[in-house]
Amino acid sequence: MFLSRFFKLASHDMAIDLGTVNTVVYVRDHGIVLNEPSVVALETRDGVRKVRAVGADAKLMMGKTPANIEAIRPLRDGVIADIDVAEQMIKHFIDKAHGGASRLPRRPEIAICVPSGSTTVERRAIRDAATNAGASQVFLIEEPMAAAIGADLPVIEPVGVMVVDIGGGTTEVAVLSLRGLAYSNSVRVGGDKMDEAISASIRRKHNLMVGEATSERIKLEIGSAVMPQGDGLTISVKGRDLVAGVPKEIHVTEAEIAEAIAEPVSQIIGAVRAALENTPPELAADIVDRGIVMTGGGALLRRIDEALATATGLPVAVAEEALMCVAKGAGRALEDSAYRGVLTPA
């Protein structure tokens, strides 16, 4: 009994927000210890694929690799697309979070966040990948619940709170009360769709081909959910001219990018409106008082809170450390017995 309690205290149980774009790791009693891109670089030699780099190092290689190396993202739309590569990535992040595999006191318990709309097969893939990567037990927690806990919302109390978690692959919209989801909706629209819309718009208007990393940089620097007055900010963009076939530099405006991402933004707003229409009246009354809280990397898009507030007529706030909310919430559910009921054994 004493020994088992000792090992529990010495354990490094963790929560992982396994995102399409970034993976964030929270270790029990240590908080957030790792935030890296969900990218794996694989090298093929003599027909055998081996992991060359993971995370930030692998992301630097995207779009710049020779024929025998490919940089891939093993998650698409918030779920695992390549289970073998995802397993290698999770194992790498577990080891890195603990300062090396040799320092692990025992196989840790791991809580992993899943989209609320993920299927049984998709959840099983996540469980298997985490188990094979070294977890003693895997718990699943739905992303909107983890986001709400991480944003310090009163999910245990009998009051309605609304969370909009915009990730790279999915947007989760949920109304929560009494440790449960009164309503949830998951749409496969997020930061990735905005990046695709930006690159498609530049290709169409300027005959210029730009890569994923460039599209993401444009979104972060001048992306806006609301059309600016006039052209707004301007940024220089380098890519390959599709007509002449040579490298070229152009300038794009904030207004142009706002127009390009208008469609994915309107889909996110549509999901929020659908959630409000399906919310029971008593919970809807609480949301009128408390407003909507936004989390996830997509919540950092400039003026998206303003666009949502205009569309719904409700107060909208972006949570502090929006990118970390899901991982922090899942970690708190592991640590605090009051929240433990929101974890589902996989």
- Tokens 């990118």 belong to 323
How many angstroms separate the CA atoms of 176 and 3, rounded? 39
- Any binding-site annotation on 18? no
How many angstroms separate the CA atoms of 227 and 310, rounded? 13
How many angstroms separate the CA atoms of 26 and 40, rounded? 20
Q: Which amino acid is at 31?
A: G
User: What H or E segment, with its residue span, contains residue 35?
Assistant: strand 31-37
Structure tokens at 214: 């460039």
- Any binding-site annotation on 170? yes
- Any binding-site annotation on 63? no
What count of Cα atoms within 13 Å lies in the side-chain half-sphere of residue 31?
2
- Any binding-site annotation on 216? yes
Residues in the chain: 346
- Any binding-site annotation on 320? no
User: What H or E segment, with its residue span, contains residue 284?
Assistant: helix 281-290
The residues near 170 (Cβ < 8 Å, ≥ 6 apart) are: 20, 77, 78, 115, 117, 143, 186, 187, 188, 189, 190
Q: Are 24 and 33 in contact (CB under 8 A)?
A: no
- Any binding-site annotation on 205? no
Structure tokens at 75: 């998650």
Q: Which amino acid is at 125?
A: A
- Any binding-site annotation on 297? yes
How open is the CA angle 147-72-324, to the nearest 5 degrees?
20
User: What H or E segment, with its residue span, contains residue 199?
Assistant: helix 191-206
- Any binding-site annotation on 168? yes
- Any binding-site annotation on 203? no
How many angstroms separate the CA atoms of 104 and 107, rounded? 7
Q: Give, in order, the Cα–Cα distances in Å from 193 to each of 76, 114, 197, 199.
A: 11, 19, 6, 10
- Residue numbers in the known binding site for ATP are 168-170, 216-219, 297-300
- Residue numbers in the known binding site are 168-170, 216-219, 297-300
